[in-house]
């Protein structure tokens, strides 16, 4: 048995139904969080542009105190100060990512488009006897406990949010020790695709549910209704916008549920998982394929595999995206010439007939195991005999 005892930070997300007073309080808090973030961002940008001066978190925290004393921004004192301080820390983190060239320059939060959320630290909430009460509230939140928190766990932070569909969520960050998984010697290579979401080196193909395409007619109808509404802040337009958001939420929820079940099974059954290091961001620039690629959600699947493997002591190997897995014979290692996407079955000169996706998955596994033995992270780019890059033709066929 694998003796995984590593403690990790894990978020447990639940839906809840606020009272009218709680909903009003949280809506005010969301607005104040957005306002403070924008004010602090404007102050930091102005200080750097005019005086070449960097303003840190401590300075913006002092600014927040002075803003509350003005008549124009006195309403900031009506909500809990904890989420306001937290949004200043988030802004500091955003600037840190920008300076380290991990992200773009922080952007201002839009009232209509930005995510409605507020984060509370331990001084901003009370969790006792399975009941969560936030600051400035007299009653606990009516949470739908779909699963229990870890035994004896106490949340370190609580994030309350409302999605565009109008649903309320609370996410509690707790220390947790992931469940142990049996040790195994199984290995698997994964070839991602469109028709088959993934093809495994074992020959198994997992069909792509195409959740977005299944609800495309419903989504199109809701969007047409929204487009006919008069622009502005009217109630009818807001109602139509929520209907569109509900369709999107249905698609997203079903897709994530399917990916969670798939990735959990792969991690449970295999000790080593090999995938390709695909650049989905570049692939979706092809406007003919962007919708199908986004619906497959390869990046989301990889993210799930990464943290689940880290939790349960599994090995995840990502091979070079330029590795020609589709054109390499898994039996004799011969590299074929150009192979159009309409060729799904092909025969090598050694006489072996391959299914294109299964062959690719076998090559992905072999390549991942070889670079693991050699101690390398990702195999460098290889060139074909003609001098051109021996790239794998990963872009799938055009989505109808």
Is there a catalytic annotation at residue 191?
A: yes
| Burial class for 264, CB neighbours closer than 10 Å (0-12, 13-18, 19+) | middle
Which H helix or E strand runs over 266? helix 235-269
DSSP string of 157-217, one letter each residue: EEEEEE-TTS-EEEEEEEEE-PPP------EEEEEE-SSEEEEETTS-EEEP--HHHHTHH
Which residue among 25, 119, 191, 367 is the active-site one?
191
Which residue among 212, 276, 295, 367 is the active-site one?
276
Q: Which two tokens stand for residue 211?
A: 């959740």
Which residue among 212, 295, 320, 357 is the active-site one?
357
Residues in the chain: 400
Distance CA 118, CA 33 (A): 7
Is there a catalytic annotation at residue 53?
A: no
Please choose, from the candidates 389, 276, 385, 392, the residue with its C-alpha nearest in 3D space to the C-alpha of residue 339. 392
The strand pairing partners of 161, in sequence order, are 117, 169
Task: Tokens 């969301």: give the residue.
Answer: 30
Hey, what long-range contacts does 296-303 have (CB within 8 A, 24 or more apart)? 296/192, 296/193, 296/194, 296/197, 296/208, 297/255, 297/259, 298/192, 300/255, 300/256, 300/259, 301/192, 301/198, 301/259, 301/262, 301/263, 302/275, 302/278
Is there a catalytic annotation at residue 212?
A: no
Residue partners of 52: CB distance under 8 A and separation at least 6: none
Residues 160 and 116 sit within 8 Å (Cβ to Cβ): no
Residue numbers annotated as active site: 191, 276, 357
């Amino acid at each position: 048995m694998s003796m995984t005892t590593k403690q990790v930070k894990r978020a447990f997300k639940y839906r809840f139904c606020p009272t009218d007073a709680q909903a009003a309080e949280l809506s005010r808090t969301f607005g104040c969080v957005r306002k403070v973030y924008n004010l602090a961002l404007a102050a930091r940008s102005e200080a750097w542009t005019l005086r070449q001066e960097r303003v840190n978190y401590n300075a913006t925290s002092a600014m927040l105190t002075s803003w509350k004393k003005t008549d124009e921004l006195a309403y900031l004192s009506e909500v809990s100060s904890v989420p306001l301080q937290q949004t200043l820390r988030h802004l500091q983190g955003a600037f840190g990512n920008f300076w380290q060239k991990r992200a773009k320059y922080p952007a201002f939060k839009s009232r209509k488009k930005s995510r409605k959320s507020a984060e509370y630290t331990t001084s901003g909430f009370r969790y006792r006897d399975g009941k969560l009460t936030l600051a400035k509230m007299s009653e606990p939140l009516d949470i739908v406990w779909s699963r229990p928190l870890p035994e004896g766990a106490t949340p370190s932070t609580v994030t309350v949010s409302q999605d565009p569909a109008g649903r309320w969520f609370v996410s509690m960050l707790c220390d947790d020790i992931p469940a142990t998984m049996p040790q195994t010697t199984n290995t698997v290579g994964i070839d991602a695709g469109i028709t088959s979401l993934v093809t495994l080196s074992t020959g198994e193909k997992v069909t792509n549910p195409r959740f977005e395409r299944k609800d495309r007619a419903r989504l199109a109808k809701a969007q047409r209704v929204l487009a006919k509404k008069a622009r502005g802040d009217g109630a009818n337009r807001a109602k139509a916008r929520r209907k569109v958001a509900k369709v999107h939420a249905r698609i997203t929820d079903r897709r994530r549920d399917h990916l969670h079940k798939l990735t959990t099974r792969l991690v449970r059954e295999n000790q080593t998982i090999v995938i390709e290091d695909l650049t989905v961001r570049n692939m979706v620039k092809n406007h003919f394929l962007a919708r199908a690629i986004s619906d497959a959600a390869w990046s989301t699947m990889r993210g799930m595999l990464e943290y689940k493997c880290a939790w349960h002591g599994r090995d995840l190997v990502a091979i070079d995206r330029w590795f020609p897995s589709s054109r390499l014979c898994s039996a004799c290692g011969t590299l074929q010439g150009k192979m159009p996407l309409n060729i799904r079955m092909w025969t090598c000169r050694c006489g072996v007939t391959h299914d294109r996706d299964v062959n690719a998955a076998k090559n992905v596994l072999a390549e991942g195991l070889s670079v693991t033995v050699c101690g390398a992270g990702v195999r460098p780019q290889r060139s074909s005999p003609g001098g051109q890059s021996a790239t794998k033709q990963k872009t799938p066929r055009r989505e109808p």
